Amino acid sequence: MHRLLANRVARGGLAIIALFTLMAVLSPVFLPYNPTVDADLLARLKPPTWTHPFGTDALGRDILMRILHGARVSLGLGVGSVVLAALVGSFLGLLAGYVGHRTDLCLMFCMDILLAFPATLLAIAIVAMIGPGLRNSLIAISVVSIPFYARITRGEVLALKEREFVTAARGLGGSARRILLWHIFPNTLPPLTVQTTLAVAFAILEAAALGFLGLGAQPPIPEWGAMLADSYKFFTSGAWWAFFFPGAAIMLSVLGFNLVGDALRDALDPRLRT
């Protein structure tokens, strides 16, 4: 941890993540917002002022308010889908790596099939099948991220299960479940942590992409990707604030997770340890 904090880039990333997390957690508490009744057509597309620091959108809704509440949606989707994917993926990886043989072959074959498709395309296909919406886009994004976890965990398990401490545990009569859970699993965590942080960034981006295509959050839920999709057409009529701020929010949050992910990888890479 201290190695991470010593890194200036990581501190920047953590600060960004903290900022967005605060937005996601605090805005519902301090700034209650009901998107279903929010529309004031007389105040549409007003440039940033003190009352509307980020301006208003095509329906006269305060963009700052929607971005603050959008943080909850985007981060929720990002973190939620990654947690789901990590749980399922690492379980599959543990199973494949430890059991080996046919199970391994079978599971990894399935993962390879999933990996064969470009992630965004696969997510779109899944949402198209199960219907648009927040919950379904969360599922879609998790599904496309599962193979990464499965592969990483499996690789680690394959290496770990030949190590002496595992042999020792087995020699002492430890059950498979015990060995997996207490000896192997904890040691797969460092690479998974890096993957998870980077995956949150990817998931936020995917969620925004799905929202942009109208497959994610449904109106009037404030979601950054959807906000961007609704407003990029104002490029020609000069209302830059309508698409600039949602775009900036997506970029910043993704940047934050990427910076931390990179720094984590550096910090956890044994080859870089001195």
Partner 1 sequence: MRRIARLTSLVALTLLFLGTAPAMAQSTFIFGAQGEPVDLDPAIITDGISSRITRQIYEGLTKYKGATTEVVPALAEKWTVSADGTAWTFTLRRNVKFHDGTPFDAAAVVWNFERWRFTKHPQHENQLKAGKTFEYYEAQFGGFDDKSLITKVEAVNPTTVRITLKAPQGPFLANLAMFVFDMVSPKAAEKWGTALSKNPVGTGPFKFVEWKVGQEVILEANKDYWDKATAAKVQRVIVRNIKDSSQRLAALKAGEIHGMEGVNPDDVKVVRADPNLQIILRPTNTTGYVAFNYKVKEFQNKRVRQAIAQAINKKGIVDALYGGTGMAANQFQPPPLWGHNKDLKDFEFNPQRSRDLLKEAGFAQGLKDITWEDGRKEPLQFWYMPVSRPYYPNPKEIAEAMAADLAKAGITVQLQTTDWAVYLDKRKNGQLPLYMLGWTGDNGDPDNFVCYFFCNPGASREGFYANQQLAEVLLQGQKLTDQPKRAELYRRAEQMIHDDVARIFIANNQPPLAFQKKVKGYVANPTSSEYFNTVSLQ
The residues of the shown chain that bind partner 1, judged by CB under 8 A, are 36-39, 41-42, 44-45, 58-60, 214, 218-220, 230, 232-239
Smallest distance, partner 1 to C-beta of residue 38, A: 6
Bridge partners (DSSP) of residue 56 are: 62
Smallest distance, partner 1 to C-beta of residue 39, A: 4
Smallest distance, partner 1 to C-beta of residue 26, A: 25
Expressed in angstroms, the distance from the first to the final Cα of the chain is: 15
The tally of CA atoms less than 13 A away on the side-chain side of residue 139 is: 13
Smallest distance, partner 1 to C-beta of residue 84, A: 24
Structure tokens at 265: 């990888």
Q: Return the HEC string of 2-30.
A: HHHHHCHHHHHHHHHHHHHHHHHHHHHHH
**Residue in the structure block whose two tokens are 């509307």:** 52
- Among residues 38 and 266, whose Cβ is nearest to partner 1? 38
Q: Is the Cβ–Cβ distance between 149 and 86 less than 8 Å? A: yes
Bridge partners (DSSP) of residue 62 are: 56
Smallest distance, partner 1 to C-beta of residue 73, A: 16
Structure tokens at 96: 């494949």
Structure tokens at 158: 């394959």
The H-assigned helical ranges of the chain are: 2-6, 8-30, 63-99, 101-116, 119-130, 134-160, 164-171, 176-178, 185-212, 224-231, 240-268
- Among residues 165 and 235, whose Cβ is nearest to partner 1? 235
Q: Is the Cβ–Cβ distance between 65 and 56 less than 8 Å? A: no
- Among residues 36 and 51, whose Cβ is nearest to partner 1? 36
- Among residues 232 and 244, whose Cβ is nearest to partner 1? 232
Smallest distance, partner 1 to C-beta of residue 2, A: 43
Smallest distance, partner 1 to C-beta of residue 35, A: 9
- Among residues 53 and 238, whose Cβ is nearest to partner 1? 238
